[in-house]
Structure 1
Amino acid sequence: MPKQGIKSLGMVLAVAWPILVFVSHEHIGSWPLLIAGSALLAWRMPQARYLAMVMAASLLTLGGLGHAELGMRAYPVTVNAIMLSIFMASLCKGMPIVERLARLREPDLPPAGVRYTRRVTWAWCGFFTANGAIACWTALYADLAVWSLYNGVISYVLIALMFAGEWLIRRRFRSRLS
């Protein structure tokens, strides 16, 4: 399989993970899913490989301590924690993630744009914190159907709403600058 095909497969598996767990958990159990999810986590996060591997090891440790299902369900929590770490680190050192993305389209970003992208990066940090907290609650307290619904559907709708809301705000912001 070509490299791009492997990347696409990884993306599909990562996005569909909660639904795959819901559909297959009854048939294969927690351990195989925990191992597969941990491998997927370590593989799909190249921008934070070390942190992803530590998180994957933490999930496996949960399983080793007798909590394989919790380790399996904690996958979305760890993804949010890694994304929060990446975005937060970019605010502390170097150029914020959103500014880097904005400069791909507009290399000479004005100072107001730099301030705006910093605020958007902070907003994503807030999103990953809230989404991770809800994912954690569903992992600990919700049944598998609710966990799958939130982490496999609702969280993606919320991500889309976050993108759409930021896009609308950015349009207003840019029109004021013009």
Structure 2
Amino acid sequence: MKPHGRLILFTFLHGILLLCMNAPLESATLPSCNTFGNETDRLALLDLKKRITQDPLHVMSSWNDSLHFCNLVGVTCNRCTKRVVILKLTAQKLAGSLRKSIGNLSHLTGIDLVSNSFAGEIPQEIGRLGSLRSLNLSRNSFGGKIPSNISHCAQLRVLRLVSNELMDPFRTNSVHW
């Protein structure tokens, strides 16, 4: 092949390569990302916000319909599925209680509400979170019993409940966990 022919071939192949690199990454072997998210997750987060009674740092002010729920403070979503995977509101001076709707965040792998003023019982619906790996509710004012169905969280590896007012599961009196 003559030098001029090689240059044309090289330019042609270079152009093809550039086109391929700029093409969207959607094929039969790669899952395409869901850009819409999940209405169940959005509603569960807004329901959780309703139970916040004190928010001196105004953390929850972003929790409204003006932003996609994956962009809310303390919320981490899976990049492709747009499902909530982590709820992390550590030391935000929040007061309130957890709602049963927390069980609707079915893709949660982590909940971290350490060092707030959450009170009331830990909802039984936590037991519906089959993907939950870490639950840290330490340094709050949760009371009542630890949900009995928490054993349904088969992936749970970290459970931290210290400094709450939970009942001793083997006695009828409350202890400071």
Shorter-normalised TM range: under 0.3
Given the two structures, how large is their TM-score scaled by the length of structure 2? Answer: 0.28
Greater per-residue helix proportion: 1
The structure with the larger Rg is 2
Larger relative contact order (Cα-Cα within 8 Å, sequence gap ≥ 6)? 1
Q: Which has the higher strand share?
A: 2
